[in-house]
Amino acid sequence: MSKSDWTPRPAEPYEPGNTAALKHGADSSRRWKPIADRLAAEVVTIAPWLGRPAFAAAVKSWARLEAQVTLITTWLDEHGLTDEDGEPRRAATYAAKLETQAQNARGRLGLDPASLISLLQGAQAVAGELEEAEASLVGLTSEGRKALEARSE
């Protein structure tokens, strides 16, 4: 058969939701979202403060990063850090970037010992300031009450 006789076959149509072109899946929300949702739900059992609404966005971001790190490192474990030519895979560079972002997110949430201590110290300082503010308000209220009583006499 000559080249001129050859007619390429049309590509097979892919069904919606196929994973034919998927490699590690770290950029596929279909792959990372279920993992991230599970992590976000589980983290509050070991770090209850993260269940507060103020932490919701940070926990969601952290969970996404952890899920992406899990997917890409699993893929790299199976396929290696280098390709057939011995060149580093782009996925390895991407994994390092994601891991750095995940580590930063862990730190902001108090998920490692040093950042937990820092978080607790900050909370303790805020609590102390609130106690001082409350004492000032109690004193101010008491003085105001005395002034009103003196006026009514």
Using one digit for the tens of pLDDT, what is the confidence trace for 77-125? 999 998 889 999 999 999 999 999 999 999 989 888 777 777 777 666 6
| Phi and psi angles of residue 88, each rounded to the nearest 5 degrees, phi first | -60, 135
- Work out the burial of residue 106: count CB atoms within 10 Å of its CB; fewer than 13 is exposed, 13-18 middle, 19 or more buried: middle
**How far apart are the C-alpha atoms of 49 and 123, rounded to whole Å?**
11
DSSP 21: T
| pLDDT, average across residues 121-133 | 66
| Phi and psi angles of residue 134, each rounded to the nearest 5 degrees, phi first | -65, -45
